[in-house]
Amino acid sequence: MVPDPNRRQVSFPKLLYPLYRDVEPKTTQQWLLGKQIQDGAEGLWRIHDSIYDLTDFVSSHPGGSQWIEFTKGTDITEAFETHHINNVVVEALLPKYFIKKAKTSRNSPFSFKEDGFYKTLRPKIAAKLKELPHDVRKKSDNVTDFLFACLLVGSPLCCWLWTKNLIYGAASTVILGFILCGLSICAHNYLHRSDSWRMYLLNFSGFSYSDFRISHALSHHMHTNTANDIELSLLEPFLQFLPRPDKPIWAQMGAFFYPVIFAFAGLGFLVKEFMGRLSNLNRKKFTWDGVIPFLLPLWMWYLSGVFLPWTLTVWLATIMISSFFLMLFGLTAGHHAHTNFFEGDIPRDEFLDWGIHQMDTIVERVEYMEDHFKSITRFGDHALHHLFPTLDHAELKYLYPTLLEHCEKFDTQLRVTTFYNALISHSKQLIRKWPNNFREN
């Protein structure tokens, strides 16, 4: 498919449609290339309506060089505003790297007004963080390290149990897949932040932490449920979440066959990632973290002594089970409810506060809000995680009173649901063809 450079978004018709959104094969590098063409950053970095040259800042960026390297040539306004809770220091640094004013308007519907929802919430959260226990983040480290230890011990044990009893082997494989899922979601807690060895743990599941930083942190988090949310487009054509009057009946049936897609997603991304690195697709390079997924089956085979083909079979089954649960928890985390805003719906306004938009795209699962283990292993506390992605999950539960009070002031609300209702609502969204009207809310 040849992209149309003049195509417009449905919900925000003044804005350009992402250039390569519907062009196969869909990759994160392709998404970035489209933004480099459309964002008006002139080969540098754009924040609001100004162009900056951050080349000399790459090596000294506290969050790691990857964030700056990935985003060269794009508009990073949303990432800049939401990844720095205390913006005083970074805003003081910006003039040093200023080049000129941008020539074009931003290709984004989001604003960050000084008196708006998000920029008035941020200092309240920053003040509340100072009151938290200084070692609160260790809770997340302990859960992650425990699950990693369970994976290392349980994976060869699982292979060995298959040689003793089929029922024990099958049961242990399901448990191992659930452990791998929990560990992968824990790793997601770290990839949003400065570089950490724990972020690499995501790769054991078949996914790529570096790709996830683009598709999840830079795309999904910053442009949730809009045309620029690559996580929605990567699931197409199998699962079509966007409401479209011409959505075919077979796509609506995704409300029933989604478990199959969930189970094979991990393997699909693993193959796509490996082949993309080998072929240098969209300038994707092969780096050492690309071998991480294959370390697990080698570990299982070496310690268990089980026939290698059978070890690989158990490993692939574990990947599929992990993928199923990871997708299940991820796609019921809050964004895929049929009452949420999606590209194709009628937004509150043609330009809106980024924080208000996040509230329109989230229905929080209430069961996980006070349980840290469930929160960090099942994408819980999702509203605050989206509003402040660089915070640790262990910090989030302390911040809900501040958020709820702030919502009252701006006449909005944190919507909540249960896991089972979220699952049903997720299916309704796959069926939904007609737009929601948020201007009537």
Residue 204 to residue 295: CA distance in whole angstroms: 8
In degrees, rounded to 5, the angle at the alpha carbon of residue 25 between the alpha carbons of residues 22 and 31 is: 60
> In degrees to the nearest 10, what's the CA dihedral of 83, 191, 42, 234?
-120
Q: pLDDT tens across 119-141, in order? A: 999 999 999 999 999 899 999 99
- The verdict on pTM exceeding 0.75 is yes
Residues paired with residue 98 on neighbouring β-strands, in sequence order: 52
Give the chain's end-to-end CA distance (angstroms, integer): 37
pLDDT of residue 87: 76
Angle between helices 419-431 and 254-279 (to 10 degrees): 80
pLDDT of residue 92: 86
pLDDT of residue 269: 87
* Structure tokens belonging to residue 4: 């149309």
- Enumerate residue ranges in the chain where pLDDT < 70: 1, 277-285, 441
pLDDT of residue 270: 86
pLDDT of residue 202: 96
Percent of the chain whose pLDDT exceeds 90: 86
Residue 50, H or E segment: strand 50-52
pLDDT of residue 370: 80
